[in-house]
Amino acid sequence: MELLRGALTPGDDDDELMKKMGAEQLYFMFGLFAFGREFAQVSKALLGEDKGFGYSGPAGLRLIPDTFKLAQQIHQGEFDRAFVRAFISTMGSLTGIPAAQINRTIKGSTALAEGKTQNPAAVLFGYQGR
């Protein structure tokens, strides 16, 4: 299917088409297994072929969108704040650590250190820019 789509879409070179076909094949193979289809988007994100993940599912399956966001950050290749947040959220889903509070504390502490706020409560409640 991806080969047909690539043949009908102008502008893709052979390397780009091969990458898309590989990502689509991984997506198909993951879909054959129980819980595989939920993680199939992760394989596309690692290859840089998928940019979004809409439905995050029930709270008990929060690991799936967290893993997807982490895969996007790994593909990006930068150790930035978004990577740290995604990593902490994934670890929270796996281990039960209070990831939301840790992320709020990091964000609030950073805003306090950078002078974006003078409110010390930002360490506990996080910081939201204007």
pLDDT of residue 53: 54
* Domain-located, residue 22: yes
Residue 71: strand, helix, or coil: helix
pLDDT of residue 55: 54
* Domain-located, residue 106: no
Residues 6+ away with beta carbon under 8 Å from 74: 46, 83
* Domain-located, residue 125: no
Please state, in angstroms and rounded to a whole number, the distance separating the CA atoms of residues 101 and 16.
41
Please state, in angstroms and rounded to a whole number, the distance separating the CA atoms of residues 45 and 62.
17
Does residue 68 have a pLDDT over 80? yes
pLDDT of residue 52: 56
**Cβ pair 76, 83 in contact under 8 A:** yes
pLDDT digits (tens, 9 = 90+) for 80-129: 999 999 999 999 999 989 999 999 999 999 999 999 888 888 888 888 87
pLDDT of residue 95: 92
CA distances from 11 to 7, 17, 49, 114 (A): 10, 10, 16, 44
pLDDT digits (tens, 9 = 90+) for 38-67: 667 666 666 766 655 555 666 777 888 888
Letter for the amino acid at 9?
T
Bigger pLDDT: 68 vs 37: 68
* Domain-located, residue 128: no
Tokens 């689509």 -> residue:
24
Letter for the amino acid at 11?
G
Domain, as residue range, for 74? 2-97
Q: How many separate domains does the chain show? A: 1
pTM beyond 0.75: the answer is: no
* Domain-located, residue 61: yes
